[in-house]
């Protein structure tokens, strides 16, 4: 038995806690929302974020960080990227010295454009070198329903990834080890931006062919920026790249795809995201992608269109027309930049 702590009681955090409990690990969940633990205990489910899935008595929800982290062997950080710095700083005094830490956040810090690995280096310096990063096609409801899924888990030292792999791997959640920390994080973050574009294309009725084209050319954008930032381009052909991209662009449960679909109805991005409890990471990440692409000199026209629609009030129809009116090119021209 491993002592597993999940920081974050949203849908994905709850699904991973249920999964961990089903594996036989002693599991605790730290919840930000005051009163949520009491409601979960009374109702036997996390109705606010993952309704319809029973929470066993053995799975403890708490608002107290010290209680949640007591004797933890593995800590899963399942909070939106915009809250990672605050939550991990709060956790730092209570984190056991030898605990393994795994981030599942799929985003980039908006203010600093830092990856979660950079955030952890600031807030959890004693644990950051051995931290791991999980990404891949995995909807919360699928995990909670005990449906099969595959994910990628990266660490700077692949042996560390394999240690966490031993704890989490099962026939229902196959965990593949990787040593590409940058690529796995970027794949999980950048695909959300492309998914907003695919949702918009779907909402505009542009057809399945256009969505497939956006996904494919979007994958090229992911790889270009990823390689510019030091990632292995092959990572983007794996679970954290094309795998997660496929799910997020096509899956009806995808919050980022849903954001794009609602943009197609004429609503503003800000109005959409402020009306929702769950976070569509692509909205915030598009800002970081815009800045990083500009800084690195990387051509990312689809991501740029999403940024302009979400944050500059650009017309969705006009951005779609602009993308389709770009000059003709050779398909593989500039698909990868040389890694720094």
Per run of 10 residues, the mean pLDDT along the chain (length 340 residues) is 96 98 98 97 97 97 98 97 96 97 93 94 96 97 98 97 98 98 95 96 95 95 95 96 96 93 95 84 92 95 97 95 92 62
Share of the chain above pLDDT 90, in %: 91
Each residue of 46-90: pLDDT tens digit? Answer: 999 999 999 999 999 999 999 999 999 999 999 999 999 999 999
Is residue 75 domain-shared with residue 53, that is, in the same domain? yes
Domain count, the chain: 2
CB neighbours of 57 closer than 8 A, spacing ≥ 6? none
State the first-to-last Cα distance of the chain, in angstroms, to the nearest integer. Answer: 42
205, part of any domain: yes
Residues 198, 161 within the same domain? no
What pLDDT does 337 receive? 54
Of 115, 150, 179, the residue that ends a domain is 179
Statement to judge: residues 243 and 131 lie in one domain: no
* 8/146 same-domain check: yes
Domain span including residue 243: 188-324
SS3 of 8, please?
Answer: coil
pLDDT (0 to 100) of residue 276: 81
Closest CA to 30 of 76, 63, 58: 63
If asked whether residues 164 and 231 sit together in one domain, one would say no
CA angle at residue 235 from 232 to 240, to 5 degrees? Answer: 140
Angle between helices 208-228 and 181-203 (to 10 degrees): 150
Count CB neighbours of 113 within 10 A. 16
pTM, to two decimals? 0.92
Catalytic residue annotation: 191
């Amino acid at each position: 038995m491993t002592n597993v702590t999940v920081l974050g009681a949203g849908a994905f955090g709850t699904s991973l806690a249920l999964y961990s409990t089903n594996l036989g690990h002693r599991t605790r969940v730290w919840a930000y929302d005051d009163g949520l633990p009491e409601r979960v205990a009374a109702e036997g489910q996390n109705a606010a974020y993952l309704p319809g899935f029973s929470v066993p008595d053995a799975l403890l929800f708490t608002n107290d960080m010290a209680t949640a982290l007591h004797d933890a062997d593995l800590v899963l950080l399942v909070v939106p990227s915009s809250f990672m710095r605050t939550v991990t700083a709060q956790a730092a005094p209570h984190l056991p010295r030898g605990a393994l830490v795994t981030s599942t956040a799929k985003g980039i810090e908006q203010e600093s454009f830092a990856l979660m690995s950079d955030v952890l280096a600031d807030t959890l310096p004693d644990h950051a070198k051995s931290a791991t990063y999980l990404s891949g096609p995995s909807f919360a409801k699928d995990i909670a329903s005990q449906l099969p899924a595959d994910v990628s888990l990266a660490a700077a030292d692949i042996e560390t990834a394999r240690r966490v792999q031993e704890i989490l791997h099962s026939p229902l959640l196959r965990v593949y080890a990787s040593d590409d920390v940058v690529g796995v994080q970027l794949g999980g973050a950048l695909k959300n931006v492309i998914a907003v574009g695919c949702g918009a294309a779907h909402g505009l009725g542009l057809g399945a062919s256009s969505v497939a084209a956006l996904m494919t050319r979007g994958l090229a954008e992911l790889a270009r920026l990823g390689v510019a930032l030091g990632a292995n381009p092959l990572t983007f052909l794996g679970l954290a790249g094309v795998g997660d991209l496929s799910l997020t662009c096509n899956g009806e449960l995808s919050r980022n795809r849903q954001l794009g679909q609602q943009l197609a109805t004429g609503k503003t991005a800000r109005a959409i995201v402020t009306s929702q409890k769950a976070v569509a990471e692509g909205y915030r990440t598009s800002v970081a992608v815009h800045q990083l692409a500009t800084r690195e000199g990387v051509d990312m026209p689809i991501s740029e269109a999403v940024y302009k629609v979400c944050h500059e009030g650009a017309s969705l129809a006009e951005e779609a027309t602009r993308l389709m009116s770009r000059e003709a090119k050779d398909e593989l021209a500039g698909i990868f930049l040389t890694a720094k």
